[in-house]
C-alpha cells in the first residue's frame, strides 16, 4: 500500500514535505527507543576525571554531562510526541497502526484498507502537530 494522503480529508491534509517528515519520524520510533535505552545505560563516553573539559584555545568549555542530559531529554520528548499521537485514534486501530508503521508489517484484515488509510492520515497529522513541524 502506498503512503499517500487522502485529499478528501481536508482538515488532516498536510503539505507533502511535512507529511513525509512526520511519516518517517513515526517509522523511526523503534530506533529512537533503542537509542534512548543505550544512552541511558551507557556512560562510557563521559570523561573519567572531569565533567567539564576545555575543547578549544578560545576558553570554550564543553559540559559532557549536560550534553548527554540534553540528548536524552530531546529523544524522550520526541518519543513521547510520537507515542502520544497514537492515542488520538480509536483503540481498535492502534495495534494495526503500530504493526504497519513501526514494524513494517501489514495493518491486518480486520478493517477495509480505506479505513486504515484514513486513521493513518489522522495519526500522521497528529504526529506532525506534536513534533511541531506543522
For 88-123, the three-class secondary structure string (H helix, E strand, C coil) is HCCHHHHHHHHHHHHHCCCCCCCCCHHHHHHHHHHH
Residue 22 domain flag: yes
Domain count, the chain: 1
CB-neighbour burial class of residue 125 (10 A; exposed 0-12, middle 13-18, buried 19+): buried
pLDDT in tens, 42-85: 765 555 545 555 555 665 566 777 888 889 999 999 999 999 99
Residue 59 domain flag: no
Residue 114 domain flag: yes
User: What range defines the domain where residue 27 resides?
Assistant: 11-44+75-131
Residue 2 domain flag: no
Q: Which three cell numbers stand for residue 116?
A: 486504515
Question: Is the confidence at residue 22, as pLDDT, over 60?
Answer: yes
Residue 1 domain flag: no
Residue 19 domain flag: yes
Residue 37 domain flag: yes
Residue 87 domain flag: yes
Report whether 26 contacts 84 (CB < 8 A).
Answer: no
Return the percentage of the chain with pLDDT > 70, whole number. 82
Amino acid at each position: 500500500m502506498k503512503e499517500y494522503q487522502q485529499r478528501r480529508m481536508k482538515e488532516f491534509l498536510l503539505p507533502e514535505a511535512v507529511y513525509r517528515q512526520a511519516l518517517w519520524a513515526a517509522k523511526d520510533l523503534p530506533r529512537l527507543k533503542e537509542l534512548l535505552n543505550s544512552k541511558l545505560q551507557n556512560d562510557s563516553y563521559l570523561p573519567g576525571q572531569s565533567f567539564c573539559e576545555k575543547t578549544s584555545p578560545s576558553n570554550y568549555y564543553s559540559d559532557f554531562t549536560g550534553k548527554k542530559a540534553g540528548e536524552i531529554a530531546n529523544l524522550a520528548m520526541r518519543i513521547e510526541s510520537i507515542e502520544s499521537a497514537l492515542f488520538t485514534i480509536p483503540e481498535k486501530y492502534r495495534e494495526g497502526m503500530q504493526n504497519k508503521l513501526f514494524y513494517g508489517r501489514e495493518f491486518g484484515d480486520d478493517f477495509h484498507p480505506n479505513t486504515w488509510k484514513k486513521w493513518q492520515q489522522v495519526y500522521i497529522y497528529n504526529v506532525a502537530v506534536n513534533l511541531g513541524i506543522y
